[in-house]
A and B are shown apart, each in its own frame.
Chain A
Amino acid sequence: MAEQTQGAVPLSAVIADAATGVALALRGEGGPYALSGILRHGDALTPAAVRVLGADALAPYAMEHRGAQAGPEDEAVVRQALAAYPPGADATEVSAWTYRGLVEASHAFLPAGAQPWPAPPEAGTGWVAQTPWPRLSHRVSQLAALALPGLAPGLAEQLAARTDDLSRGFVRAVRRRDWLQAAGLGRWLARLPDVAPTLGLDSGLAFVRQMGGADPRVTLHIVAAQRFHGRGW
């Protein structure tokens, strides 16, 4: 982890707190959700935490019966994250896609306000067909936030062609006890249409929640798979 000024909360702790808040909102608990309520505008780590959570920071606004509408404070928090952490010229595919996911989610779930949202940046999908299945699974698990309904339809289409490979990756992640990867993959598989019933995705997701639920990001993925795609127990 990078060095931070003594006395500061680690970024991972801020992200974990925010992930817990999002998961609670997706479960319908904890009162009306506001992104600016769990990550305050003006806090030093807020833009970084929003950038890492990506589209998931706005996931509660994607629910049909949500408790609260996004306000100008939420918009300001997201704009700050987009401005502070754009993917660089040598950015990884994951960095480019997560940034695109946050932009797409802003278009879909937040009001534009006085200023329009930036256009979603280009992000390639060539790697989906070319990457060996273990590495593909690892990478796709890092893009779990893009499994929100309606986001990244082109990527979802490409991934659907590799459903069996992602299913293998899910089993592999469970065997390796890599709960975060398993939860992210399971969330994507919950969105894909042709997952083999023999995979046992529902019980698999329940198992991952049971074993890895201490990590708030694991819980967030499992709750999102259940809330938006009706998978898992």
Chain B
Amino acid sequence: MVTDRTAPVETATLAAEVEGLLAPAEADGVFRDTRECSSALLIFGLLLISPPTPRPKTDNR
């Protein structure tokens, strides 16, 4: 890990970085939408309990 705190830095870019750190734009929220989650769960449940697709009978007798 580099630890040189005395390395020269550009004053102008540092000033811009300071302003950016003081008032950053709001980050996108990371959250789960309950309605979306419940819909996905409902669809999964319906698929799970659905009856098998009817197949044509192969018995020729």
Residue numbers of A with Cβ under 8 A of B are 1-5, 7-9, 11-12, 14-15, 40, 42-46, 48, 51-52, 85, 91-92, 94-95, 98, 138-139, 142, 175-178, 181
Contact = CB atoms under 8 A, between A and B. Distances in A.
Interface in B1-47: 2-10, 13-24, 26-27, 29-31
Contacts of A92: 19, 22-23
A109 B23 CA distance: 25
Chain B facing A: main interface SS: loop
Contacts of A48: 14, 17-18
B26 A138 contact: yes
Contact of B29 (A8, A139, A177): A177
A2 B29 contact: no
Contacts of B14: 2, 4, 11, 45, 48
Contacts of B30: 176-178
A40 B5 contact: yes
Contacts of B8: 5, 8, 44
A85 B15 CA distance: 7
A4 B21 contact: no
B14 to A, nearest CB: 5
Given A142-B23, A175-B31, A14 B13 contact: no
